[in-house]
Chains A and B, each alone.
Chain A
Amino acid sequence: MLRRLLLLAALSAAPLACLLTPSRAAAQDRVLNVFNWNDYIDPYMVQRFTQETGIRVRYDVFDSVETLEGRLSAGRSGYDIVVPTSEPTFSRLARAGAFRPLDRGLIPNLANLDPVLQQRVATSDPGNRFGALYLWGTIGLGVNADRIRALAPDAPMDSLALLMDPQHARRIARCGITMMDSATDVIPTVLRYLGKDPNSTDAGDLREVERALMAIRPFIRNFATGGAIEALASGQTCLAFAYSGDVIQAASRAQEANRGVAVQYVAPKEGAQLWFDLLAIPADAPNPEAAHTFINFLLQPDVMAAITSHVHYPNGVPASRPLVAPEIANDPAVFPDEALRARFFTIGPVPQAAERARNRVWARFKAGR
């Protein structure tokens, strides 16, 4: 919360500084409206964008992708740049016609993007038509290894079995298990753990997922998505199913607090689900030209390096890696090695009926009945 306030304070100071520079007065009319995740940019880079281009940035944040989807679905959101996650939000909105196709001529820096990752995103954005890759990550386990080892010494630290095997979960429950509150993010991973296709919409597969989830339900203390950072960092919970970057942020917060809590991120060996956050331009964006300029600005290696150093999520521009702060560039949790990357999987869109079935399983799982 405090960090968000500081961020907003920093961002609101940026345009003020520009107003005081008379030579830029002519460019002041141009405003870019950005809607991004909270704590998901280096605020200094926004300032730099305004300094270089004279385009003022009105920066707004969301903390759940549903907020973004709700606003864009209603139309006339007033934003020029939004940053939805590839599945399910981005692909649904793209199919509904909510985005303007990117004008590749205006974004020469698209060439900086990793072609392998681009290809993976294409399951949600065929031909990379609407989205430019911003940051990405995986979904896995946040682990407080010391406390887990004390309770379950034989549990495998690198496997999803830590959470999904009731034998282990039962013992770990005593120091707290937090589950991400998202059917779309958890169910594919459980399908994968059970040896099924993560995109399966088969009713039988879904029943097996439900059974597996119900078996560990008694051992889950709470469901939280953003809250996992705080719960892990404070030692409130010692095992969390969460986004990679959130766990990495929790680890650095725990280190700062220096209260004997050590947290690490584990991308499970069974394969971790990849997700991508994409820069996109709403179909009715008031200032699409500035939006293209902004995307092109962000995709420069030094800008992306600064953002990754700040938020601890890897980006889609390989040339930025040498410029990232060394403690982050060398962190295998942020930049996983090839062997681990080979086992990552991506998910595709599922039909609405299947989505409802998944959400219903999820509701029963949460309620525990």
Chain B
Amino acid sequence: MRRTVVLALPLLWMAVFFLAPFVIVLSIAFAEAAEGLPPYAPLLRWVGDGLPVLQLNLGNFQLLLEDPYYLDAYRRSLTVAGISAMLCLLLGYPMALAIARAPERWRSPLLLAVMLPFWTSFLLRITAWIGILQDAGWLNGALLALGLITEPLHILYTDAAMYLGITYGYLPFMVLPLYANLVKHDTALLEAAADLGAKPWRAFLQVTLPLSIPGMIAGFLLVFIPAVGEFVIPELLGGPGAQLIGRVLWTEFFQNRDWPLASALASALLLALVLPIALFQWRAARAR
């Protein structure tokens, strides 16, 4: 009995805050755009003698598959998110490892340093990068003063600035799960490897790295999934060519006022992310 209650609570939470909104979005995706408030026609209509008629419009999903514009945006978003997650992994792994191997009294302050940026608004921190990267910004000022460059570098509004922003913004999501994994490793394993003649780098490759795979996967997903739909960073730092799915969704919703197509885009994105991950989880669970 108590077990049922304990299980029911999170399920209820999921139903109310995840499933219900998704069903609403999905139902709008099957509607047809129309002038009015809200700007789409209802799915359920009542004809003359009180008979309900359910009209589903599949045209939006068909358009997503047929028009290369949308597929292109999906592909670009997945690429950007994948590269960003890899960058976070490359930067975050040494950080997490250093914190995990630091003397115990240092770990808390170091972890705090990783989380400290969260105390400032995300938007403010990304905006701060504009001040650093712009032509007359701090970075160019420093490089010019050092005589390393003679003309300011155009970094702001390029893909490089976008990747920098995403990597910066999501790095803590990589470091924290990796640290949680790495700190639990038994140091006796490394000592044993050393006793058996393994050099430190070999011990790392054959002991630490394989053991930290779950942490890497967790960190990768925590960065990758939100980065796919990232809207703010490409808008503020990225170049005009960055037509990512977040921007395309925004255009459909706000500028074309096509709520059904925007909803179809959002549903398709969610399914494209959730299905492979669910499949992966299911296979991982079966392998165990």
**Taking beta carbons and an 8 Å cutoff, which residues of A are in contact with B?**
1, 64, 66-67, 69-70, 72-75, 92, 95-98, 176, 183-184, 220-223, 234-236, 352, 355-356, 359-360, 363, 366-369
Interchain residue pairs with CB less than 8 A apart (17):
A66-B250, A67-B254, A69-B254, A73-B259, A92-B35, A176-B135, A183-B255, A220-B240, A236-B134, A352-B35, A355-B255, A356-B258, A359-B251, A363-B251, A367-B243, A368-B240, A368-B241
Beta-carbon contact of B134 and A92 below 8 Å: no
Q: Is B37 an interface residue (CB 8 A)?
A: yes
- CB pair B135 A236 closer than 8 Å: yes
Q: What is the minimal beta-carbon distance from B233 to any residue of chain A, in angstroms? A: 15
Give Cα A176–Cα B36 distance, bound, in whole angstroms. 41
Q: Known contacts A69-B257, A235-B136, A359-B256; is A95 also within 8 Å of B35 by CB?
A: yes
Which of chain A's residues have a CB closer than 8 A to the CB of B157? Answer: 221-222
Distance of A159 from chain B, by nearest CB (Å): 24
Among candidates A96, A235, A363, residue contacting B39 with C-beta atoms closer than 8 Å: A96
Q: How far is the CA of A25 from the CA of B56 in the complex (A)?
A: 55
| Inter-chain contact total with CB atoms closer than 8 Å | 73
Q: Which of A92, A235, A363 contacts B257 (CB 8 A)?
A: A92
The contact string, 1 if C-beta is below 8 Å from chain A, for chain B 28-68, is: 00000101111100000000000000000000000000000
Looking at the assembled complex, report how far the CB atom of A215 sits from the nearest CB atom of chain B, in whole angstroms. Answer: 16
Instruction: Write out the residue numbers on chain A whose beta carbons fall within 8 Å of the beta carbon of B136.
Output: 234-236
A95 to B35, CA, bound (A): 8
**CB nearest neighbor in A for B253:** A70
Chain A to chain B: the 8 pairs with minimum beta-carbon distance, closest first = A66-B254, A222-B157, A366-B240, A223-B240, A367-B241, A356-B256, A367-B243, A96-B36
* Contact A352 B33, beta carbon cutoff 8 Å: yes
**A73 adjacent to B241 (CB under 8 Å):** no
Provide the residues of chain B in CB contact with A66, threshold 8 Å: 250, 254-255
Complex Cα–Cα for A69 and B156 (A): 30
Instruction: Tell which of A97, A235, A359 touches B37, judged by Cβ atoms closer than 8 Å.
Output: A97
Is A98 touching B240 in the complex (CB atoms < 8 A)? no
Chain A residues near B154: list those with CB within 8 A.
221
Chain A residue at minimum C-beta to C-beta distance from B241: A367
For the complex, give the distance between the alpha carbons of A183 and B252 in Å: 13
What residues of chain A lie closer than 8 Å to B250, measured between beta carbons?
66
Supply 4 further A-B pairs (C-beta < 8 A) apart from A96-B37, A356-B258, A367-B241: A184-B255, A222-B157, A222-B239, A352-B258
Q: Which residue of B lies closest to A363 (CB)?
A: B243
Query: Would A73 and B39 be within 8 Å (CB), given that A220-B240, A352-B257, A356-B258 are in contact?
Result: yes
Chain A residue nearest to B156 (CB atoms) is A222
Q: How far, in whole Å, are A75 and B253 apart by their CA atoms in the complex? A: 15
Cβ–Cβ < 8 Å partners of B243 in chain A: 363, 366-367
B236 closest partner in A (C-beta): A227
Complex Cα–Cα for A224 and B46 (A): 46
Q: Once the chains bind, are A73 and B37 in contact (CB under 8 Å)?
A: yes
CB neighbours of B241 from chain A (8 A): 366-369
List B residues 229-288 near A (Cβ within 8 Å). 239-241, 243, 248, 250-251, 253-259
Question: Does B138 count as interface, using CB distance less than 8 angstroms?
Answer: no
Chain B: minimal CB distance from A3 (Å): 15
Q: Which residues of A contact B135 (CB under 8 A)?
A: 176, 236
CB neighbours of A96 from chain B (8 A): 35-37, 39
Is there a chain A Cβ closer than 8 Å to B69's Cβ?
yes
CB-nearest residue of chain B to A365: B240
Contact present for A222 and B240 (CB under 8 Å): yes
Chain B residues with Cβ under 8 A from A97's Cβ? 36-37
Q: What residues of chain B lie closer than 8 Å to A64, measured between beta carbons?
A: 254
B164 nearest CB across to chain A (Å): 16
A75 and B258 contacting across the interface, CB-CB below 8 Å: no
CA distance A360 to B255 in the complex (A): 11
B39 to A367, Cβ gap below 8 A?
no
Chain A residues whose CB sits within 8 angstroms of the CB of B256 once the complex forms:
352, 355-356, 359
Shortest Cβ gap from B25 to chain A (Å): 13
Nearest CB to that of A366 among chain B residues? B240
Residues of B within 8 A of A352 (CB): 33, 35, 256-258
Question: With the chains together, A356 CA to B60 CA distance in Å?
Answer: 14
Pair A359/B255 contact, Cβ less than 8 Å: yes
Q: Bound state CA distance, A72 and B127, in angstroms? A: 28
Q: Which B residue sits closest to A217, measured CB to CB?
A: B240
> When the two chains form their complex, are residues A75 and B37 in contact, meaning their CB atoms are under 8 A apart?
yes
With A and B bound together, what is the CA distance between A264 and B41 in angstroms?
47
Partner of A363, one of B69, B127, B253, B254: B69
Taking CB atoms, residues of chain B closer than 8 Å to A355 are 255-257
- Cβ contacts under 8 Å, B258 to chain A: 352, 356
- Give the most central of A67, A234, A363: most B CB within 10 Å: A363
A73 touches B255 (CB 8 A): no
Q: Which residues of B contact A69 (CB under 8 A)?
A: 254, 257
**C-alpha spacing A64/B37, complex, angstroms:** 20
Complex Cα distance A236/B140, Å?
13
Cβ of A92: which chain B residues have Cβ within 8 Å of it?
35, 257
Residues of chain B within 8 A (CB-CB) of A356 are 256, 258
Whether the Cβ atoms of A75 and B240 lie closer than 8 Å is no
Q: Which of B69, B157, B240, B248 has the most CB of A within 10 A?
A: B240
Which of B35, B37, B69 is the one whose CB lies under 8 Å from A360?
B69
Residue of B nearest to A75 (CB): B37
Chain B residues within an 8 Å CB radius of A183? 255
Nearest A residue to B151 via CB reads A174
Specify which chain A residues have a CB less than 8 angstroms from the CB of B36 in the assembled complex: 96-97
- CB of A261, distance to nearest CB on chain B (Å): 10
Please indicate which of the listed interface residues A67, A220, A356, A359 has the most CB atoms of chain B within 10 Å of its own CB.
A356
With a 10 A CB-CB cut-off, give which of B36, B38, B39 has the most chain A CB atoms: B39
